[in-house]
Amino acid sequence: MLFRLFACLAVASLTGLNSSQAQLVVQQVPFQSAGNSYYDATGLTWGVNGPGFFANFNGNGAVAPFGNFDPNAGLRTGVGFRNGPWSGHLGLTLNQGSSRSNQSTTASLTTTDGYPGSITSQTVRPFVTGVVPIVGGAPVGFIQDIPPVTSTGQQNLASVAQQQLAEVQQRQQANHDARQKTAYQSFQRGLKAEQDGNLRMARANYQNALRVAEGELRVEILKRVQANNW
């Protein structure tokens, strides 16, 4: 009797251990992105001074808006001469650089066997930008029961879609203008600080402006940064 009791307990324990084992399921969604940019810039400067006469040419070239342009990199060299009342100089700048990036992101989800799991990436658009009807494959009677879309209805749909699109574009333009205004204000504060001799404050304002500045404003900021060798 005692032997049977031990045998039952052993079988029950083994059965319980087997039922508690399960596999783990790992789901992964990898995402990779790579980028590469390059710039090459050269410039030539010269100047001549004489009795009642001078001429200077600053040909450093345009600032490259891509490739992570560094005004402190590259080669700057030149030569000067003097002969009596005449003097002059000749300078050369060579700058080259590239920027590469390789990013990898993997979302991972671990679940037990039999339990659901999901990884999602969604974009929600709370407005309608257009209506495209799809007709085909329906019975003839069903098609006849649908009232035809009049030209007035089509015009109303097109008008609503255009109005919604215009509102979105206005909001985007307003946000863009606000960012550029902030960058311009930071640039002006940097110019004032530079004129007052506070180069530390000027550099901080230029860096803040560069984060969002675009177009000609960005080029002007980079010129000031290059002029101060920052």
**Domain boundary residue, one of 67, 86, 102:** 102
Q: Could you tell me if residue 67 is inside a domain?
A: yes
Q: Could you tell me if residue 146 is inside a domain?
A: no
pLDDT for the residue 120:
77
Q: Could you tell me if residue 145 is inside a domain?
A: no
Q: Could you tell me if residue 1 is inside a domain?
A: no
pLDDT for the residue 12:
53
Q: Structurally, how many domains does the chain consist of? A: 2
Q: Could you tell me if residue 42 is inside a domain?
A: yes
Give the burial class of 143: count Cβ atoms within 10 A of its Cβ; 0-12 exposed, 13-18 middle, 19 or more buried: exposed
**Domain boundary residue, one of 72, 102, 132:** 102
Q: Could you tell me if residue 17 is inside a domain?
A: no
Report which of 51, 48, 47, 76 is spatially closest to residue 61, judged by C-alpha positions: 76
Give the per-residue SS3 of 88-143.
EEEEEEEEEEEEEEEEEEEEEEEEECCCCCCCCCCCCCCCCCCCCCCCCCCCHHHH
Q: Could you tell me if residue 59 is inside a domain?
A: yes
Residue 163, domain extent: 154-230
**Domain boundary residue, one of 102, 132, 164:** 102
Cβ-proximal residues to 98 (8 Å cutoff; 6+ apart), any chain: 36, 37, 38, 39, 67
pLDDT tens for each residue of 5-25: 555 555 555 554 444 555 787
CA torsion, points 114, 116, 119, 123, in degrees to nearest 10? Answer: 160
Q: Six-digit token pair at 52? A: 């009642």
Q: How many residues does the chain have?
A: 230
pLDDT for the residue 141:
47
Separation of alpha carbons 141 and 86, rounded Å: 99
165 and 230 within one domain: yes
Q: Could you tell me if residue 20 is inside a domain?
A: no
Separation of alpha carbons 179 and 159, rounded Å: 30
Q: Maximum distance among all alpha carbons in the chain? A: 127
Angle of CA points 200, 203, 206, to nearest 5°: 150
Q: Six-digit token pair at 128? A: 């309608």
Bridge partners of residue 91, in order along the sequence: 45, 78
Low-confidence ranges of the chain (pLDDT < 70): 1-22, 59-67, 71, 127-151, 153-154
CA torsion, points 4, 9, 13, 14, in degrees to nearest 10? Answer: 0
Angle formed by the axes of helices 151-195 and 199-210, nearest 10°: 170
64 CA to centre of own chain: 17
Give the per-residue SS3 of 166-177.
HHHHHHHHHHHH
* Alpha carbon separation from 208 to 163, 182, 203, 213, 216 (Å, rounded): 35, 9, 9, 9, 16
